[in-house]
Each structure stands twice: as structure tokens, then as C-alpha cells.
Amino acid sequence: MRPVRAFLISLVLLFSTVPGVAQNSPSPANPARVEGKLINGYEPMWWKEAVVYQIYPRSFKDSNGDGIGDLKGITSKLDYLHQLGVDVIWLSPHFDSPNADNGYDIRDYRKVMTEFGAMADFDQMLAVIKKRHMRLIIDLVVNHSSDEHKWFVESRSSKDNPYRDYYIWRPGKPNPASPTGFDPPNNYPSFFSGSAWQFDPATSEYYLHYFAVKQPDLNWDNPKVRGEVFDLMKFWLDKGVDGFRMDVIPIISKPAGLRDLTADELKNPGKAYANGPHMHDYLEEMNRRVLSKYDVMTVGEAMGISLEQTPQMVDDRRHELNMIFNFDAVRVNRDGRLWKSWALPDLKAIYTKHAEELDVHSWDTVFLSNHDNPRLVSSFGDDSPAFRVPSAKLLATMLLTLRGTPFLYQGDELGMTNYPFKTIDDFNDIEAHNAYKAEVLTHKVSEEDYLANLRHMSRDNARTPMQWDASPQAGFTTGPSSWLAVNPNYTQINAAQEISDPASVYHYTQHLIALRHKTPALVYGDFKDLDPRHPTIFAYTRTLGADHYLVVMNFSANSIAYSLPGGLQPAKLVLANLGSTEAGTSTLHLQGREARVYKF
Ligand code: NOJ
Ligand code: CA
């Protein structure tokens, strides 16, 4: 490593690992910034070098035997995460909520969900996270609140209530034939089936809810709403949290005039709702009034935003967000809500396009799983007994060596798999149940087809409890049952077993994280796909100055003798998922699902 770069990186690390429970006290100057010193054109920042791990609190670890994960449970597992090597924890919503959408419907933004514990438990968890030199980002869910939030309770009570304009109310279209006397104000669909408008008898008007009926959309055009949001952000930042993952943030500014969607727009309502006329103004205001005063990271869940539009949200000269989640890669195996088979060249083309579209001012993220998607190894790999382990390791290799800050989802590091759902009653997710009513109970889709698709796609696949050990309920809870059933494969797939096995997915992931941490080329280096059209091999380089890394992965179950393009002969094998030692040759003999990282 060049001495200047080594110095810069250690400077960044020094500032990023200040021990203790140091609060994020407002400071206009970001201490991690080294003005004017760039790495490969990029401004070095701690969140560019971080590996993020997402916790879905309901399913991570139960401390009191009620079958529901909680904050004390998380605190008890922080050493596990520290040993894995992750830098940042993203905690899915931990706020007071009636749980219509498992916490993505918030009743009180300043209170901890009672099932998860109390504020003292949050403070304790944060203190231990900081002691371990990790960071915490929390979920900011402010496109909508719960209908049980006091703002909405007030808002619905009368048309002249001071909170009326906190939400989006419209009169219906008169229709004597309809039971309420009205039709909804326009044809907007909800993401969770049915109309996005709900008639409220108290004032005979409709309110807008892009998601569930119990998730009314906030009116961001009201400056008081923005002020409330900025205040609650400061509340958590002043406690010391290190930033936010922002739920469906591109849809906070509603389309001008709320006119009907065209037939074409109805095929992708997320796109039609996103990028409203004031979205950038509101994000810029949020950055100016709140984020710029703290050393924090932000990542927006960018539903409806194209790759081409991404720089408008994350270019560091615009002062809006640091990063967004773009879903092109995650959705390569689906068509809307339907599962479809996918081809490796399509996925590779997406990563190349990312490298082309996002320049040194627009930092990327890399992820293929979260709480809204099926399990990584079942979705993009092969969860059969013969290939689950190599395949989970291959996917980890890709996620931790690609461009962008990697986001791992809980259980990915164990190679956890989809759940064998049988009937609709096995599912908890409101989205799955609403669509069942709208599609199966109306005979638009057969029950068999619906369930077959849901088994692949359901979000509940990712929400089954973490598998900690081989004891009953996988060590997730000491109680007799858990809120969502434990995957029956927990006796084979669990953390205790993997920690004791040096060849496990857990230890391989640990090695990869350590490799990324000590290898600036894997963070700031250029990306080049060496063989974009190859149907089963993904071979790419990451290059930073004189440091060249080659990642080669065989996505097929068949072995192959693969000749590297240009006769490249990588000299040094850095990491391999199947124990190979092959190096110094341009023809690699790869087994099925084999992944290797070379330096050359
Ligand atoms: C996106 C979240 O990730 C998802 O879980 C939730 O259902 C919707 N936003 C609504 O908040
Ligand atoms: Ca509990």
C-alpha cells in the first residue's frame, strides 16, 4: 500500500473507532473527512469501508421466552456479530407499533416497542455496540405512520383539527351505488392490494395509504410534518445512533394533482409514486437541517428510482443521501411479484451498468437479501444438501468483493434457507394475506399457483427465527414456540455448529470480511467483468493502483476447465471456498459452485 493511502486509511479508521459511548454530538465538520485527499477519485469515508449487517429484531434473539426477539436478546449476541467482523448494524424498526406490518407502522417514534423492551434496553444495546467499536443505524419509516399514531388519531377526528393536514385527505367521487356513497378520489392501488384510499366515516373523506389501511401516508408538503420528522431524527441521533436506513423514501413527495394512473403506470405503481415534485427539496432540507450536523450514514430504500436517477439522490455534491438500495439485482429472478428463472449474464450486466453509471461522487450498495426478500442461498444459489454450503460461500464471496458497501442479512452468514411453507396459515405477512384475499379468494389465481410462487418469493422466508443452536426452537427462545415457526433444518444449520466448524459458511464469511477490511482495492478499486457473456462463470477484477484482485466464481453445479481471458495467470490464491490451491495457471479447474479470490 502506498504510504499516503495507508496513512489516510488509518486516519479514517482511527476516527471511526473512537471507543466508549461517545455521542454523535452535532459537529459541522465531519471528522472522517480528509479534505482534498482522494482514493482512486473517491473521498474516503467510514461508511464506504463498512460491512453492514441487518437485524430483524422480531426474529433475532428472544431473551425472555415469549417467542419474540427483543433488544436484550440482540445485546446478548453482539459478541457474535463483533467476532463475525461486521462494522455497522442496521436495526429494522424497534419503535412502538401495533404491528400491522411488523413495526413498519409506527405509533410512537420516540418509544421502544414494548415487546422488544424499554428505552433503557436500547441505551444499553447502543452502549455495548459502541464498546465493541461497531455502529448502529436505525430504520426511519416516515412515508407513513400507524393509524394509531396520535397525529392520525387527531387528524381523522375532524376536518378542522390542527393535525388534519399531517395526512392526505380527499373527498371521494360521489357514487350513489357504492355502500359509502362514494368512490375513491383516484385509481391509486395500494402495494398491499386494493385501493390506496380508505374511506373514514368520521369525516366522510378518504385518506391515502400506499401500504396497509393501518399505514396512512404523511403529508410531507406540510412544513410541520417535516419539522416533526427532523426532530425525531435528532432525538435518535443525539442518543448516538450512526444514521438511518430510510424506508421507501422516494415516495414521500406525492405526484402533483394526484391524477389517475394510466394503464401503463398501473403496471408499476412504485415508479409512478416515486420521485415526486419535491422529493429532492425535502431530502436536501433534511440533510441541511439534520444530517449535515452529524457524522452519520444514510441509505435510502429507493423503490421506483432507476439506476440513471440514482446520482440525483446520492451524488455527494448534492447533499441529499449517501447511498440508496437499487433493486435491479435482487429482482433479476422475478417479474413483479412472480418468480422467474434467471440467467447469470443478466446479473453480471447489472453490476457492470452500476459501475458505468455511478461515478466517484455516487457511492453504491451491494446486497441480494433483506427482510422483504427470500433467503439468499435459496434465491440466488442452490440450497440442496450437496451445494448449500459452497453456494452460500460463493454468494458471500461476490457480495463482499463487489463495488459498494455490502449489506448482509441475518442468517446469510450461516447459509440459512427458505422455509417449507405448506398452507396460507403458515404465513404471517400482511402482504401475503391481503394478496391471497384479493387473488385466490376471488378465483383470479389458483391456491396451488399462489402458494407455489409464495414459497419462492415470500418475505416470511427471511423472517423465520435465527438458528442459534440445535436445542428446541433453535435456541432462539426458551419458550415453547416462536411468533413465526423455526425452520425445521435448524438441527443441521445453526450458529453453534458453524462456529465449531472451521469450514463453515460463518467462518468463510468472517475471512471475507477481514479480507475486505484489509484490502482497499476491494473497497475503492475499479470493477471490470472479464467475461460478461459467459453463461456460468462470473470473473471480475478489482484494481486500485498496482493492486489487482481477481474473483472467479462458477455459478453452475458442474465442474469446468475455465481459461481466463487474455491468458491471465493469477499468481497468488487469497481465498477459496472449496479448499483449492490452484494458482499460476490461466486454465482454472473449477468444481461446481466454486469461488476463488486471487491477487495478481
Ligand atoms: C419497505 C419495508 O422494507 C417493508 O418491510 C414495509 O412493508 C414497507 N416498506 C412499508 O413500510
Ligand atoms: Ca422476547
Q: Give the DSSP per-residue string, 21-56.
A: -------SS-TT--TT--BTTBPP-HHHH--EEEE-
Average of pLDDT values for 549-578?
Answer: 97
In this structure, how many other beta carbons lie within 10 angstroms of the beta carbon of residue 51? 21
Tell me which residue of 349, 390, 376 sits closest to 503, measured CA to CA.
Answer: 390
Average of pLDDT values for 352-380?
Answer: 98
The radius of gyration computed from the CA coordinates of the chain, to the nearest angstrom, equals: 24
pLDDT at 4: 35
84 Cα: distance to centroid of ligand 2 (angstroms): 24
Average of pLDDT values for 560-566?
Answer: 97
- Would you place residue 36 in the very low, low, confident or very high pLDDT band (cuts 50, 70, 90)? low
Known catalytic membership, residue 498: no
CA dihedral 258, 262, 268, 272 (to 10 degrees): -30
104 C-beta closer than 6 A to ligand 1:
yes
Task: Decide if pLDDT at 6 tops 70.
Answer: no
270 C-beta closer than 6 A to ligand 1:
no
Task: Decide if pLDDT at 5 tops 80.
Answer: no
Cα separation, 507 vs 526, whole angstroms: 27
432 C-beta closer than 6 A to ligand 1:
no
Task: Decide if pLDDT at 11 tops 70.
Answer: no
Residue-averaged pLDDT of the chain: 94
Give per-residue pLDDT as tens, 127-156.
Answer: 999 999 999 999 999 999 999 999 999 999
Q: Output 326-333 pairs: Cβ under 8 A, ≥24 positions apart.
A: 326/302, 326/354, 326/364, 326/365, 327/302, 327/303, 328/353, 329/366, 329/368, 330/367, 330/368, 330/369, 330/373, 333/379, 333/380
Task: Decide if pLDDT at 15 tops 90.
Answer: no
Least reliable range by pLDDT among 27-31, 79-83, 381-385, 398-402: 27-31
Q: Would you state the cell numbers that stand for residue 579, as one nine-digit string?
A: 479448499
Ligand nearest to the CA of 215: 1
Task: Decide if pLDDT at 438 tops 70.
Answer: yes
Q: Would you state the cell numbers that stand for residue 410, as one nine-digit string?
A: 441475518
> Is residue 38 packed enough to be buried (19+ CB in 10 Å), middle (13-18) or exposed (0-12)?
middle
| Secondary structure (3-state) at 392 | helix
Average of pLDDT values for 256-283?
Answer: 97
Q: Whose CA is nearest to atom 11 of ligand 1?
A: 104
Task: Decide if pLDDT at 193 tops 80.
Answer: yes
pLDDT at 313: 98
Task: Decide if pLDDT at 19 tops 60.
Answer: no
pLDDT at 58: 98
pLDDT at 116: 98
pLDDT at 361: 98
Residue in the structure block whose three cell numbers are 385509481? 187
**Alpha carbon of 193 to those of 213, 272, 453: distances in Å?**
10, 16, 17
Tell me which residue of 322, 333, 344 sits closest to 378, measured CA to CA.
Answer: 333
Average of pLDDT values for 29-49?
Answer: 76
Cα separation, 130 vs 79, whole angstroms: 12
- Per cent of the chain over pLDDT 70 is 94
Using the CB atoms, write b or e for 255-289: b if 16+ within 10 Å. beeeeebeeebeeebbebbbbbebbbebbebbbeb
Q: Whose CA is nearest to atom 10 of ligand 1?
A: 104
Residue in the structure block whose three cell numbers are 448516538? 240
CA 37 to chain centre: 30
Task: Decide if pLDDT at 491 tops 60.
Answer: yes
Cα separation, 551 vs 399, whole angstroms: 11
Known catalytic membership, residue 247: yes
101 C-beta closer than 6 A to ligand 1:
yes
- Would you place residue 23 in the very low, low, confident or very high pLDDT band (cuts 50, 70, 90)? very low
In this structure, how many other beta carbons lie within 10 angstroms of the beta carbon of residue 578? 17
C-beta of residue 51 within 8 angstroms of C-beta of residue 516: yes
Q: Would you state the cell numbers that stand for residue 214, as one nine-digit string?
A: 393501518
Mutation choice for ligand 1 from 147, 192, 209, 211, CB with most ligand atoms inside 8 A: 211
Q: How many Cα atoms occupy the beta-carbon half-sphere of 531 within 13 Å?
A: 19
Task: Decide if pLDDT at 183 tops 70.
Answer: yes
pLDDT at 20: 29
Q: Pairing mode, if any, of strands 334-335 and 365-366? A: unpaired
**Any idea what DSSP says for residue 544?**
E
C-beta of residue 505 within 8 angstroms of C-beta of residue 467: no
Task: Decide if pLDDT at 17 tops 70.
Answer: no
Mutation choice for ligand 1 from 104, 143, 458, CB with most ligand atoms inside 8 A: 104
Cα separation, 69 vs 71, whole angstroms: 7
Task: Decide if pLDDT at 256 tops 70.
Answer: yes
Average of pLDDT values for 435-455?
Answer: 97
C-beta of residue 565 within 8 angstroms of C-beta of residue 559: no
- Ligand 1, atom nearest to 303 Cα: 1
Ligand nearest to the CA of 64: 2
